[in-house]
A and B are shown apart, each in its own frame.
Chain A
Amino acid sequence: MTYIELIHIIVPILIVGASIVAVLLRDLLAAVIAIAAMSLLLSLEFYILQAPDVAIAQAGVGACLTTAIFVIAIRATKRMEGEA
């Protein structure tokens, strides 16, 4: 097993793990950070699948802009899930 095949196995597992963490967290700000980490790992996966322009778009839009919009929305509302 080569080095790049090992990365192809590890990175999707980390993506699924970050997604599960984002679902399970009650703190919405921490969940948004988990989604940003998932998006950045997805960008890395695009890069090692040799689509670097898709990786740049994913890192810009997915990891930064949606996170900024979520952070703005959470700071205007409640931070914890389930609060009245």
Chain B
Amino acid sequence: MSGMSKIVKTISSIIFPFITIYGLYVIAHGHLTPGGGFQGGAVVASGLAMLLVAYGSVWTMGKLKEKHLSINQTLESVGAIGFIGLAFFGLIFGTKIFFNNFLVNKQDYLFGATVKLGETAANINTAGILPLMNFAVGLKVIAGLFGIVLLMAYATRLKEGK
């Protein structure tokens, strides 16, 4: 599959950082606003897929090697292991139950602040391990969904014999 016109390539390159920043915002605010790891990861993967369609699979596979596909699979596995690893850490710390939120309301740690009562502005530095789990799920969804599109482009490149 060859690339699209120069107009499409330029516009895609310009709006790709904004889509990525919006997706990372949805992931980072997963415990405060609608959305979370899956939704933000789907948004980031959509931006990556837009770039791939605009530039074409021939150009993309010229830049990417087989090694990068295995790096993609490794990142997906890191996301899954991070999620279930945080769940198993709950068996070690705190009250020792599965999925125990052992970081919540511990002021010394990241995401450890206590939520204020009443109508206050939302504080991102709360909720314990939930933001970390959102980051893990976001990494897994970005790598997984982009890996599907990447393999599709790889297969079409093989069909053209290039």
Contact = CB atoms under 8 A, between A and B. Distances in A.
B34 A52 contact: yes
B156 A73 contact: yes
Give the interface residue-count category, chain B: 20 to 34
Secondary structure type dominating chain B contacts = helix
Contact of B50 (A61, A64, A69, A76): A64
B148 A60 contact: no
B1 A56 contact: no
Task: Say which size band chain A's interface belongs to.
Answer: 10 to 19
A65 B42 CA distance: 8
Interface in B14-70: 26, 34-36, 38-39, 42-43, 45-46, 49-50, 52-53, 57
Interface in A8-60: 52-53, 56-57, 60
Nearest to A56: B39
A75 B54 CA distance: 12
B18 to A, nearest CB: 14
